[in-house]
Amino acid sequence: MTTEPSTDTQRLSPRPVGPCAMVIFGAAGDLTKRKLLPALHFLARDDLLPEPFAVIGFARRDWDSERFRRQMESDIQAFLPGNFRQEAWDWLKNRLYFVPGSFQDPEAFSRLREMLAEVDRLHQTGRNTLYYLATPPEQFAIVAQQLGAAGLTPDDHKGWSRVIIEKPFGRDLESARSLNQKLRSTLAERQIYRIDHYLGKETVQNLLVFRFANGIFEPIWNRRYVDHIQITVAEELGVEGRANYYETSGAIRDMVANHLFQLLSLIAMEPPNSFDANAVRDEKEKVLAAIAPMSPEDVLVRAVRGQYGEGMITTGQIVPAYRQEPNVYPESRTETYAAMKLMVDNWRWAGVPFYLRTGKRMRGRLTEIVVHFKRAPHILFRETPVHHLNPNMLIIRMQPREGISLQFSAKVPGPVLELGNVNMDFCYADYFGTAPATGYETLIHDAMRGDATLFQRGDSVESAWKVVEPILDVWSALPAREFPNYPAGTWGPAVADQLLARDGRHWYNLSSTLRC
């Protein structure tokens, strides 16, 4: 069963962005050419950037503005071969500038101040500046402090300043608190935009609309009707040249403390009073703060880890074990897979388990939330051939093909009472089409508008680390001995299946049932 596209859509024009300049620290890096410049290109293509706009790149390269423009043009054509729009790029290219320098050099920030003044003169950017820190995490506080020392972080009637920082936001609770303190010594919390590109995905944003704009779901979104919820972020890729980072990170730090907890907070939050940024983020923070803390004994039975070995992925290619990847320690105990059972200790979700899992080199690339509802009573079917009733499931997929599926039971045609599962699918592309995107367009646009709804707040970052720190502590004290414990191209280690089996449940691995 599928649904037919409808023309009954409500469209609102995006709130316009005022004059501003965007400064990209680390402008010669991978993130800039793969994501940030393409995102700005798409925003320019869709007329979502203001006419008074400019971009200043800042990096340790001996470039001038013209060299920077040539390099960015080469990069963007390489990364957007089928989606490149010359007119949009020409508009953007004429607004590109460059400042060479080190993040530790105060003189470089003096040159940046002069360039911002020149850009304001040429493009009337109104002394409004968005700083994007596409830098290693250890540089976040340094850059912020240099900006403050150079007088480049005003936030008053003369102009605004906002700073976007990429994950990871610390390595543990202590380092997250330290980073927050250092940032707040220069910036107000309202000026700090902690970005998680997962929240730029359309279906992630659609979670709020799906939950709170549809009266048929909100009454059953609680412990009375929901049996449990599964959140999966699976990757088919390995470390892909990022081993130096991943060896010090692992799956928990890389994915759980940010991406998965963001999905958890959106699926479990209470209705905010409005879509005001603080109202939404208040409710997300309440969810994270309500997650029941784990004792060391809890960690041993409610959290599992894995590391992939050699195996075959869906393309038929044999891929090496994690320990055989370049720059990985031959006896590495870094987890490439993590799963856990969490309990949200509040009135709505008391007694409802949330099962989270993420891993590399799994059977496919997949991000989805599966809401398992409680089974209906079997009383009516006691004198029939129906021996058990399957639970209804709501499947919300973010990638690779965005969509929502509702699974329910229906009678199979014939003289015998036999039940079959039916899927009612909503595929995002069928209704609204698809447009090339990086996932950063919405987030950059929101930051320019001063809308922090989709960005993490400092207290939420610390609450997330409070949840995972007991797991990290136990895993550090008791290093894994059985690695590798799952072949590449599978759904993960057997111990992850046992995590649910102890509760009489199993992972939902039949994502192919969603038609998208």
Active-site positions read 259
Place of tokens 């607004």: 95
Tell me which residue of 201, 184, 494, 487 sits closest to 321, measured CA to CA.
487
- Tell me if the bond preceding 19 is cis, omega within 30° of 0: no
Q: Give CB contacts under 8 A, 24+ apart, made by 380-386.
A: 381/417, 384/417, 385/416, 385/417, 385/418, 386/417, 386/418, 386/419
Say what the alpha-carbon torsion angle 427, 204, 375, 425 is, to the nearest 10 degrees: 0
Cis upstream peptide for 400 (omega within 30°): yes
Q: How many residues does the chain have?
A: 516
DSSP per-residue codes, 233-293: EE-SS--TT-HHHHTTTHHIIIIIIIIIHHHHHHHHPPPPSSS-HHHHHHHHHHHHHHBPP
Residue 184: half-sphere exposure toward Cβ, Cα within 13 Å: 11
Q: How far apart are CA 243 and CA 328, in angstroms?
A: 6
| All residues at 6 or more sequence positions from 468 whose CB lies less than 8 Å from its CB, including other chains | 252, 253, 256, 257
Helices 202-212 and 261-268: crossing angle, nearest 10°? 20
| Count of CB atoms situated within 10 Å of the CB of 76 | 21
Q: Please state, in angstroms and rounded to a whole number, the distance separating the CA atoms of residues 425 and 514.
A: 7
Residue partners of 363: CB distance under 8 A and separation at least 6: 234, 236, 314, 489, 490, 491, 509
Collapsing DSSP to helix, strand or coil, 150 comes out as: coil
